[in-house]
Amino acid sequence: MVRCGIVGASGYSGAELMRLLAPREDVALEVVSAATSAGKRVDEVYPSLAGVVDLTFGEFNPSQFDGLDVVFIALPSGEGMKVVPELLERVGHVIDLGGDFRLQDMKLYEEYYGHRHSAAALLPSAVYGLPELNAEKIASAQLIANPGCYPTSAILPLAPLLKTGAISPDGIVITSMSGVSGAGRSASVEMSFVEVNENIRAYKPGRHQHIPEIAFVLSGVAGKNVSLSFVPHLVPLTRGIYTTIHARLAGAFTRDEMLRICSGFYADAPFVRVRQSIPQIKDVVMTNFCDFTLVVEERTQQVIVTSTIDNLIKGAAGQAIQNMNIVTGLPETTGLLRKEAHYV
């Protein structure tokens, strides 16, 4: 039995963690904290979890997590670093869904996230939790930095192409579209229905905090510096990420050859599906899959990749549970190969 807790459980990622963990007979979800909802029952905030999660949100108290096997941190970036040091000496493993431990370079973190890192001493020990690339290190990690949702959608299709030298590491262009749940549950005018509906807008072009994360991970895969641009867009969907990538071919590769490279690279990866057809968000919503395909544009000698994930599952809670399964010695797919009703 894996004993778990969640810090920041009342947000969308926290709720997704509860939805996926609570039905499991091999997991005991024991503590859920959420400052904004402290004192409220889980089913009061999320009626869809009535009869599923019989817990009350509490204020964060590190002693309540003593002895748990895994604690998930589902807090905004800048908040996780405040609680992780207190938890590491009390629990078996910490999986942080925020961005505080994804970058090894403190100065780079502070440049892109805009605030000082108060737990920089822990950065060297944090393991980047993308299971398809890092399962061996994840298995022995105490602190796991769950990848960002946008980076997951970009890194997975690009990794095999860079690893094999099929594409140039320079001038990669990544354009992504995300549903509104990616912005979190806090209310704001710009995320209101009237502002988002029948609208689309880019945000943080050239300075988004996921740029160094994507570049750092892909540079490690390629064994050389990878340069890229990344522009995210907000679209009027509840959940899902759709990513389109342009990269230059580094040789005379056909589409079939490149698809074989990707399929071979992910032959043992249960949650990556290399497709012949162009993927759609509806193919992956409410699942932990990443679907992608590519085409070769001979006229410009470019490869065009399209990938899609559910930002709350493979981009957050599902990937975190995938990491939990690995670090606790369970089959990677445990509790993640089922579809359930939409609740947000």
Give me the count of residues in the chain. Answer: 344
d(CA 157, CA 266): 10
Rg (alpha carbons) of the chain, rounded to whole number: 19
Q: Which of 4, 149, 262, 290 is catalytic?
A: 149
Cα–Cα distances (Å) from 318 to 95, 106, 182, 224, 302, in that order, read 12, 27, 14, 30, 32
Q: Are 100 and 84 in contact (CB under 8 A)?
A: yes
Helix residue ranges, H only, 123-209: 131-139, 149-163, 193-196
d(CA 290, CA 309): 5
Helix residue ranges, H only, 164-209: 193-196
Continuous segment of H or E residues that includes residue 337? none
DSSP letter assigned to residue 269: -
Q: Are 308 and 154 in contact (CB under 8 A)?
A: no
Q: Backbone phi, then psi, for 205, in 5-degree steps?
A: -65, 130
Cα–Cα distances (Å) from 30 to 18, 214, 277, in that order, read 11, 34, 43
d(CA 8, CA 119): 19
d(CA 214, CA 250): 20
Which amino acid does the sequence have at 32?
V
Cα–Cα distances (Å) from 60 to 30, 86, 159, 222, in that order, read 13, 11, 38, 41
Q: Is 149 a catalytic residue?
A: yes
Catalytic (active-site) positions = 149
